[in-house]
Every structure is written in structure tokens, then in C-alpha cells.
Chains A and B, each alone.
Chain A
Amino acid sequence: MKLEEVLFSAYGFSSFRPGQREVIEQVIKGKDVVALLPTGMGKSMCYQLPAHILPGTVLVVSPLLSLMQDQVAQLKKMGEKSVVAINSFLKPQEREKIWQTLGSYRFIFISPEMLVQPFVKKQLEKIHVSLLVADEAHCISQWGFDFRPDYLRIAEILPILKFPQVLALTATATEKVTQEIKTYLKLEEPFIYKHSMDRKNIVYDIKKFDDSRQKLEWLTSFVRGSAGPGIIYAGTRRKSQELAAILMDQGISASYYHGGMEHQDRVFVQQQFQNGELDWVCSTNAFGMGVHISNIRHVVHFQLPTSVEGYVQEVGRAGRDGEAALATLLYAEGDEGLLQSLVMDELPTRHEIQQVASHPAGAEQLVAEGIVRETALRVVAYWLSRLSESETLRQMEFLQREKIKQVDKMKKLVNLQSCIREYIIECFDQHLKGKPENCCVNDGIDYSIFSKRLEKPKKVVLESWQNRLNALLP
């Protein structure tokens, strides 16, 4: 059967996105593959489609619970029934049910923590896994911000599964990351597919201001004049709420989104945005994953992101429909200072390392008492299990320098006189093959191609609960 036919019959898509065919062909041939594709290009399809051709089960290791849930929801939405997610939140009886029918699933999603548990290994040993997928495989990288120590242990499962072929997926395509993925997943001669990190339809803009008041004024007038939909990345939770309030005051359809909100409220904001009931979302970097809106026209960064990789990831949510989208980075004098402290906050402190080292057994207690942060514990515990305390301290200092390098790259981007697109691509060890007409602020931007905001008819106001019910169930 032709691959297109499978694509259509299984998922209803009529053609491949760039890169998908190249990767899928190799996977079906039985090769190990490392696929480096920008966010939103459809990496999941690289295992979703082979699952309909390869015998047995596809086992997907996914670093975050929310990501896993999103993948499962996406598959179910496309009509796939044979899918299950194994994570530590399952109830015992649910788990029991899963073990009994484990071999019958086409897709099994699992967290790295679960994957390395002896009991889980035993269960997996019994079934036939034809493809092991490491999603967001850059989490393997010890130098990355998303480093997840448990990810390094994925390779433990390989002999138990009798060495299935491996597919590693990520959007972070630097040489260093690729190298580490190869090492830690024990891939000897993988086929490496590296798609250009360049998104031709994204236009890069930077606006500089003397202070944050000016920045805010610019933002409100910009949003008032532009057709959405758009995301405004705010840096902190508090800022995201503040910006949303200011925009709403101007009569703009806006809301905020961050990890501190009640789960149901987050779902509502996401759905309102997805369904076009909301034009602008002001958010922290928590927003984006699991948001499948192809027509986002604007991504505005109200504060500097902490790395070029993070920046590209967030900007990448715009323009998935291929139409032009504008990425605007706002900068006010002194913003770097904030950046520095934000970055330092992310890493385990010297104090945290010393605490964990001197209480090897009671580490959980340290988290409970608020002495050590949970994320910090994860990282510190990993290094302490391999290195001495002083070596761990040195390791953290090293990580810190790496992060500062990342921040410096971001600072450099802001002050660039030359092409921003070219600079970004070079940060990923790639070379730019030609610029689009509308490229970046330093090459000149034609803003006229972006639609102006139209006065939309105000949404009907429902006066009573009976009216609302009538609207829900007409």
C-alpha cells in the first residue's frame, strides 16, 4: 500500500508535511532514526503512521504528563482507539486492567519514571514492541534546560524489549543534542533527518523601548490595531494576568493562561482560543503545548526569553497554516537584568545541593519542608548518584555557565544589526538557504500584509441561564 493511502485511511490527511515521508520511509525500512523537525511540523505522525504498518506495539516515552495526555487525546480525536497511557496517576485497578491487555494496544505512552520500574519492565518484556519512540528527545541532553535524568535510563529497556528499532524526535537540532541522543540511546548508525529550522513564513521583528511603560503603551496600541489570533508571552504569571487585564480594559478579547490556574479554567481558556472565541492569550511558557491552532498570526514576547531555543519553540506556534505570521520581541532598557535572575532561579543552588547531599535519605522531606525545590531535587539527586558533592557543585557551575551562554545568545539577538533569521538558524548549526521577501526587522518588514483588526460584532450576551442552556443545546 502506498504511504499516502495509509495516511489518508488512518488519519484523514491527504498529503505529508515536509520531512514526514523521509522519516517514515526509513522507520518502515527498520532503521533507527533521529528526526529533527521544527515544532508543529507533525513529528508525531512519524510514529503514528508506521504503527499501522509495523507489527506489534509502538512504545512512546514522553517526558511530561500533560504532553502524554495531549498525544493520547489527539490520537483519540482522530479515531484511534487502541491507545493507552501509563503514568503514576493511574488507579491500581486501572493499571491491573492495562497489564492484562498490554499486548493488544497499538500505542503505549509511558513516562520515563514508569519505564524503569522493575515491575513495568517485566510487563513490557512479555509483549512485542516493534518501535521505541523517544519524544522530545532533547530532554536527554545534560546541557539543555529540559534535562530529565530519567530520560538517560531509556536505554535500559532496550535489551528487555529485545532491541527494537528506535525513533528519537525533537525540535532542538543542535549538534550537541544530536550527539547526546545518539550516545544515550545507543544508536550506532541512525538515519538522521534534519529539517531546516527556518520557518519561511515567520517574520522576525524587534521593538526597543526606554522603559516598560513605553513597552506597554506600544503593546496596547499594537493589539488594538491587529487582527488576532495571537499569543503574548509575559514571562511571569503575575505579568500575564496584568497584561490581560489591561487589554480587556481596552475592549479587546483577551485572557490569561498560566500553570497556577485551576485545571478546568486552563482548559476553558485553551478551548476559547482554539474555537476563536478569544483573540489574545497572555501567558507564561506553560501555554502552547497541546494547542493546535494553525492560524496564529502573532506571537509577542513581552519579556526576553531565556534562550534562543525556547524563543524558537514559542515563536514556532505561529503560522502553522503556512500563512505569514509576525513574531515580535519587545525589549526595554534593563530587561537583561531580569533575565539573569530568572535563569539562576531555574538551577539548583549551592545550598540545595549541600542539603540533599547531607540528607540522602530524607530528600523528599526537604521538598515537603520547602528547603529544596522539587525540580532541583530531581537534578541534584541524579548528579549525586554519579558524582561526589564537590563534583556536583562543579557540574552545576558548569550548567550555570552554559545557561549564561544561552542568555548571552539571546541578548546578542536583540542587539543584532544583521539578519535575525540567519542568526537563529546559525544557533542551530545550520545555514540559511535564501531569505523570504518579508524576513526580519533588519532586512525591512512590510507590515501591510498583516490584517488590521476589524470591529467584530459583539458576542450576544445571554441574559438568563435558560438562554445559555438553549445556546448549548439548541
Chain B
Amino acid sequence: MFFNQKTLGGPLLLFEELVITIMKAINLERTISSPFHLIKGKKSGQTIQDVGYYRLHPYFAAMPNLEKRLYDEVIQNLFARQLLRDNDQVIDLTDKALAHAMPASPLNGWKYRGNEAVFLNRLSLVVQTLSYTSQQTNRFDPVHNAEDLQSWVKHYLKKINFRDPASVARFKAEMLESLEAADVEERSKMVLMQRLTGLGWSGMTWEQIALAHDLHILDVQLAAVEALHAWLDVLERNGFPMLSPLLDHVIQRSVLTESTQRTEKLFEKGLSLSEIAAIRQLKTSTIEDHFVELAMNDPFFNFTPFMPPAMYEQIVTVSKKRNTKRLRDIKEELPDATYFQIRLALALREDQP
């Protein structure tokens, strides 16, 4: 339905390469729709589990608003280009696809899980306000009307003393410096800036941006997320007094102890529990505590490396049936489960997928 749009069939889209990269990891094991669920960030057991099994962390929830219709078009194109071949059951990549070299991705989806939008929404409203007020225009239609967002931004603006031209200058300087340092294509940074609004420069729709860059709409949307993730990485690692507050609660990891965070990093790299204990020269039980902490704080925590889903189900059922969280009571009924497994299962949220 995009009449002015670039159509598929030219050089591979960045988005198509992304899909192929994911498919390579799950080739012959998962269905055609699983990359879609992964990119959208579906909170189902299967998807979450796959993130862990196949190390697909960067791509999870990279594009929460991805339309099925567009994804399906892309898939049809992959078939047409003989990168995929017919297989009723699963993804079946051709040798051509398997040989295709994939560019590294600056995505960090598992970490941000769509929360980068919170950062962007705040930033949009702050930039718009600074743009208008610094040019003596006090009445304008805010780009966002959500009450909580507006009051957050108002509070923030007051704190940075936004009417002081020096504040505006510092804010801009920090944007320039940090975005400069972001490890992502310049074009992606431009796409992101085109989503911001200022006096005389309203934000542009995805389609307008796509036309301006002669790109497919999926590629500009992908570029924006890539730029955001790369930028957030810079902001997180270096203190930027003006910009850092915009990250408040965007990355919820701060609730974790530092030691647990280090354990998590190693785990995401693919190390096992005992390997982590060895590297960190800590007792296994300490590392187990870390995982329990992770499970408590992370609604997406993937328990499958530690116990099969059936065991998890059993532990939860027994706990419910006997109305107990006491480890020994549960162990009595399920002698096969370790204490660690029971703690982990109980630590998980009720709404665990």
C-alpha cells in the first residue's frame, strides 16, 4: 500500500539481511514466523526460549511495531530470490543464503526491549520544547500528549533550567558529542534526527524519510532503532549530565547488584553456570544466587538452561497445590528437583510465559 515506496527486488534490504541472519541461527529448526515474533518481541515461552538457545539477544523486540503484512512481503521476496526454499515445516535456507555474508548489527534488543521508545519520546518532547522556547515561541502543540510523559518532561525541564540559553547550548553539545560517538552509520543518525520536531522543522513520517533517502520503509525503521541502540550504549557508558537522566528507568538493570550484572553479561556470552563460577572465582552457590536474583527481576528470564519446562511446571503446580513456597516441602514431593531449581522456579514471576 505504499505507492511512492521503494519496492522489494533490488539489492537486499538491510531488513532482509536481518531476517536471514536470524534464520541462519534457527535454520531447519523453527518456522517462518519465528523471526517475526522475535523481532516484534513476543513474550511467549517459545520466543523467549529461542533467544537463549540460539543467542538471538540483539534482535529481540527490535521492531515492536513491525507489520505482519510487510514481513510477509519480505518472506515472499526471499522465496522469489531463491534464498529460501519450500519446506512445509521449517525455515529452509538455500546455499546461496547460507553463503551470504552478514554485516554486524549494532542492535541490542534484549537489553532495551522496546524501552528505547521511552527515551526517544522524552527526547522528542524536550528537543521540541527547547527548539520553540529558545526561539521565543511559547505556544505550540506538543508531539506527545500522554500525561505521564509530559509531566516527566516538565519536571526535567525545570531541573535543567531550560529557559537559560546556556542550558540549551549544553544540551545540544551533549547530543552532538554522544551521537558522534555512536557506532552506527551516519545515515541512521540522520533518520533518527528526522523523527525529531523543532520550530519550522516538524518530524517526518517514516514514508517521508524513506523517500528522502531512497530507502524502503523497513530499512529506515530499522536504521532508527540501530541508531538509538548505539546511542544509548554511548550514553550509558559515559556520563552525560544533561542526557543521562533521559535514560531513567529505560534500562531497568540498575535494580541488580553489580556482581549479578557481571554474571549476567558472562551468561549472555554463552558461559555456563559452572564456567562463570570458575572465571569469577566465586562459589557456585553465589552464582546460583545471582540467577535467582535475575529471575526475580527479569520477566523474560529464560529458565530452560537450568531445568526442562516440565519440571518448572511441576514445581509451580506443587507450590500452588500445597500453597507453599517452602523449599523442603516442595522437594519432598519432587525429589528430582535441586534446591536451586526450586528457588529459580519460585523466583520467577507469576506471569512467566
Interface residues of A (CB under 8 A from B): 69, 72-73, 77-78, 85, 90-91, 94, 237-238, 241-242, 244-246, 248-249, 255, 261-262, 264-265, 267-272, 274-275, 277, 464-466, 468-469, 471-474
Contacts and interface: CB of A to CB of B under 8 A. Distances in A.
Identify the interface centre among A94, A249, A468, A473: most chain B CB within 10 Å of its CB.
A473
Interface stretch (B27-35, B200-208, B296-304, B333-341): B200-208
A468 B193 contact: yes
B145 A464 contact: no
A473 B190 contact: no
B200 A73 contact: no
A472 B127 contact: yes
A168 to B, nearest CB: 26
A77 B139 contact: yes
Contacts of A78: 139
B273 interface: no
Interface of B: 1-4, 65, 127, 130-131, 134-135, 139-145, 147-148, 168, 171-172, 175-176, 179, 186, 189-190, 192-198, 200-208, 211
B3 A242 contact: yes
Given A248-B4, A468-B190, A268 B172 contact: no
Given A271-B203, A473-B172, 18 more contacts: A77-B141, A78-B139, A248-B4, A262-B65, A265-B205, A268-B202, A269-B205, A271-B141, A272-B202, A277-B200, A464-B186, A465-B189, A472-B127, A472-B196, A472-B197, A472-B201, A473-B127, A473-B171
Identify the interface centre among B127, B141, B190, B203: most chain A CB within 10 Å of its CB.
B141
Nearest to B195: A264
18 contacts: A73-B141, A94-B147, A94-B148, A241-B2, A244-B4, A262-B65, A265-B206, A268-B143, A268-B204, A269-B205, A271-B141, A271-B203, A465-B186, A465-B190, A469-B176, A471-B200, A471-B201, A473-B198
Identify the interface centre among A69, A245, A270: most chain B CB within 10 Å of its CB.
A245
A465 B192 contact: yes
- Secondary structure type dominating chain A contacts: helix
A433 B147 CA distance: 46
A49 B4 CA distance: 47
Contact of A275 (B171, B175, B202, B205): B202
A360 B203 CA distance: 46
A394 B135 CA distance: 61
Contacts, number: 103
Contacts of B194: 468
Contacts of A238: 1
A255 B130 CA distance: 27
Nearest to B135: A474
B3 A245 contact: yes
Nearest to B194: A468
Contacts of B175: 469, 473
B152 to A, nearest CB: 13
Given A73-B141, A464-B186, A466-B176, A472 B198 contact: yes
A275 B200 CA distance: 7
Contacts of A242: 3
A69 B142 CA distance: 12
A271 B143 contact: yes
B127 A271 contact: no
A238 B172 CA distance: 40
Given A241-B2, A268-B205, A269-B205, A464 B190 contact: yes
- List 7 tightest A-B contacts by C-beta distance, closest first: A245-B3, A472-B198, A265-B205, A468-B193, A465-B190, A465-B189, A271-B202
Contacts of B190: 464-465, 468
B131 to A, nearest CB: 5
Contacts of A265: 205-207
B111 to A, nearest CB: 23
A245 B176 CA distance: 35
A279 to B, nearest CB: 14
A474 to B, nearest CB: 7
Nearest to B2: A241
A293 to B, nearest CB: 11
Contacts of A255: 205, 208
Given A262-B65, A465-B192, A473-B168, A91 B148 contact: yes
A78 B139 CA distance: 8
B145 A73 contact: yes
A262 B175 CA distance: 26
B143 A267 contact: yes
Given A241-B2, A245-B3, A474-B135, A469 B205 contact: no
A468 B201 contact: yes
Contacts of A272: 202
Identify the interface centre among B2, B197, B205, B206: most chain A CB within 10 Å of its CB.
B205
A11 to B, nearest CB: 12
Contacts of A77: 139-141
Identify the interface centre among B145, B172, B195: most chain A CB within 10 Å of its CB.
B145
A272 B130 CA distance: 18
Contacts of A264: 143, 195, 203
Contacts of A244: 3-4
B174 to A, nearest CB: 11
Given A241-B3, A473-B131, A473-B171, A268 B203 contact: yes
A91 B148 CA distance: 10
Contact of B205 (A90, A261, A464): A261
Nearest to A269: B205
A251 to B, nearest CB: 13
Nearest to B173: A473
B169 to A, nearest CB: 8
A278 to B, nearest CB: 8
